[in-house]
Amino acid sequence: MTGAAVYRGMDRATLDRQYSPSTTVPSLQAYLDDYRRISADARRRHPVRAGLAYGPHPAELLDYFPATGRSDAPLLVFVHGGNWQALGRAESAFAVPALLAAGAAVAVVEYGLAPDTPLEAMAGMVRRSVAWLLRHADALGFAPDRLHLCGTSAGAHLAAMALLPHPDDGPDTSGRIAGAVLLSGIYDLEPVQLSYVNDALRLDGAGARRNSPLLRLPPRLPPLVVARGDNETEEYVRQHEQMVAALRARAAVTEVVAERRDHFDLPYDLGVRGTGLGDAVLAQLGLAEQPGAEEQLEPEEATA
């Protein structure tokens, strides 16, 4: 190392690489283009109630995809990633077709982004989306006791924050979520606060601790699927392993390490039967034994 160590023997440049998951893939833009293309196709091919306001902020919008022909369906609420600074609803409906085919309803949540939106406020927005969906469960057509929260990357962090009681912002949703799916998440923000990501988040040490779900886990939690790809940076692997270890004493945990998946293509497997992640998520949703043909991504769509 050429610079002074700032965290676990890593200098700033190394830490920045560790918290830049795009360093593990040939092209981040190819994934982002794929997300948007598949999401647009999902909106063309499936009924959707788009742009539903779940709170007062202009970014507090969600898209709701109803399950076909049933009012007792489980709901998977998807919270996108993007280092708390990028992406939105437009790029985040790519898992909808497989989940609908399996019998779930899906809500895709947008939230405010850094640097304009503080991290506590983002977490509050995700909580408000959950509370709003539960209030409108009958009108939307899903079972309110079957709401499952799913997040990837930064979205996994925000989903984990929604599981905590006594929140700093937004309603307490900790006892209202039937299960959660956490993909390639960050759960301890101390190293994030010391990396380039904090240029946008602007956390101090106290803020990093306050927004670290790993440090605030309650004694009991709902069932969780915690997953990562086998192609992640060492720090994302460490964060995953620490979170899984901490959760096992508190909840029924299904851990998935997906072969030949990375930080960006792992979410393609949500709802896809025959994949480790898809099977685990469908089991948690109570759809593991549901018969019928599944609509899955074409191979070229799943390997951008």
pLDDT in tens, 145-166: 999 999 999 999 999 999 999 9
2 pLDDT more than 60: no
Amino acid code (one letter) for 181: V
pLDDT for res 161:
98
pLDDT for residue 91 is more than 90: yes
pLDDT at position 68, please?
Answer: 87
- What was the pLDDT predicted at 290? 53
pTM of the model: 0.94
pLDDT range class, residue 289, cuts 50, 70, 90 = confident
Q: What is the pLDDT of residue 143?
A: 97
Q: Domain 5-285's class?
A: alpha beta
Question: What is the residue-averaged pLDDT of the chain?
Answer: 94
